[in-house]
């Protein structure tokens, strides 16, 4: 299992929100590049970068994120408000290894089909859910769609796999909820990355046992609950 550091960018800063809600910042760091360099130096195999402003429809941090993707030696996967073919093309052009699509993927299967054929095994579909409903628009709106139904529908396409986030526990440092993770992983043959609620090494061990492909860790590594370098070494 790969342990992946999360860098969420909002207003040009590296932040960590509780439940994805604006105004709940528990972490704010001005120098985003320094943060990325630290995780890279600590052994990150890939870095997870999300443009929160683009996801929320409150602006974007495109130039900064493109600079990160172009400058880092470690590969990056990028998401947050990625809703056009032009944006996907630009991200791959500047070096993103994978691009994450959320809202547009849930609302427009034809779009996912086209871009996954253009970039096979490089598109990740974000399954951001509370209980079993997939959320859209930066986690602010319910889609009315069941997460397993979405996974079953889209796994037939040449996507890389899925990123599952349990929004109910995201950023709360209260641990993961293993049941929906297990259900989702067992429902697909595609790789599943997991985020949301990861707080301790025990959580990571549980994800390993559940056969998660990777764990995206945010709040826990910024607050010192998990030693990222140690976690990388533990699960290599």
Which residues belong to the active site?
A: 8, 128
Burial class (CB in 10 A: 0-12, 13-18, 19+), 225: middle
Round to whole Å and give the CA distance between 52 and 61: 8
Round to whole Å and give the CA distance between 180 and 68: 33
Strand partners, 141: 136
Listed in sequence order, the residues at least 6 apart from 122 whose beta carbon sits closer than 8 Å to its beta carbon are 92, 97, 98, 99, 116, 160
Task: Indicate the SS3 state at residue 161.
Answer: strand
Is 98:77 a contact under the CB 8 Å cutoff? yes
The CA-atom distances, in angstroms, between 185 and each of 14, 90, 170 are: 30, 31, 19
The CA-atom distances, in angstroms, between 168 and each of 52, 100, 232 are: 17, 20, 26
Please give the distance of CA 177 from its chain centroid, rounded to a whole number.
17
| Tokens 């691009």 sit on residue | 99
Dihedral of alpha carbons 25, 161, 2, 186, sign: positive
């Amino acid at each position: 299992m790969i342990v992946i550091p999360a860098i969420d960018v909002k207003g040009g800063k590296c932040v960590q929100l509780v439940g994805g809600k604006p105004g709940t910042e528990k972490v704010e760091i001005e120098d985003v590049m320094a943060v990325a360099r630290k995780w890279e130096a600590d052994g990150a195999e890939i870095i997870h970068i999300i443009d929160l402003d683009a996801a929320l429809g409150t602006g974007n941090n495109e130039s900064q994120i493109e600079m990160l993707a172009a400058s880092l030696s470690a590969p990056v996967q990028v998401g947050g408000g990625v809703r056009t073919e032009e944006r996907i093309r630009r991200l791959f052009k500047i070096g993103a290894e994978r691009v994450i699509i959320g809202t547009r993927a849930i609302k427009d299967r034809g779009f996912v089909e086209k871009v996954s054929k253009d970039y096979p095994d490089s598109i990740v579909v974000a399954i951001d859910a509370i209980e079993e409903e997939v959320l859209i628009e930066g986690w602010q709106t319910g889609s009315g769609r069941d997460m397993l139904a979405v996974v079953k529908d889209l796994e037939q396409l040449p996507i890389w796999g899925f990123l599952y986030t349990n929004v109910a526990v995201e950023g709360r440092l209260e641990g993961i909820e293993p049941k929906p993770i297990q259900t989702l992983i067992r429902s697909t043959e595609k790789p599943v990355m997991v985020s949301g609620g990861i707080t301790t090494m025990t959580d990571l061990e549980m994800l390993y046992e559940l056969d998660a492909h990777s764990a995206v860790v945010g709040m826990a590594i910024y607050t010192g609950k998990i030693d990222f370098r140690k976690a990388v070494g533990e699960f290599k």
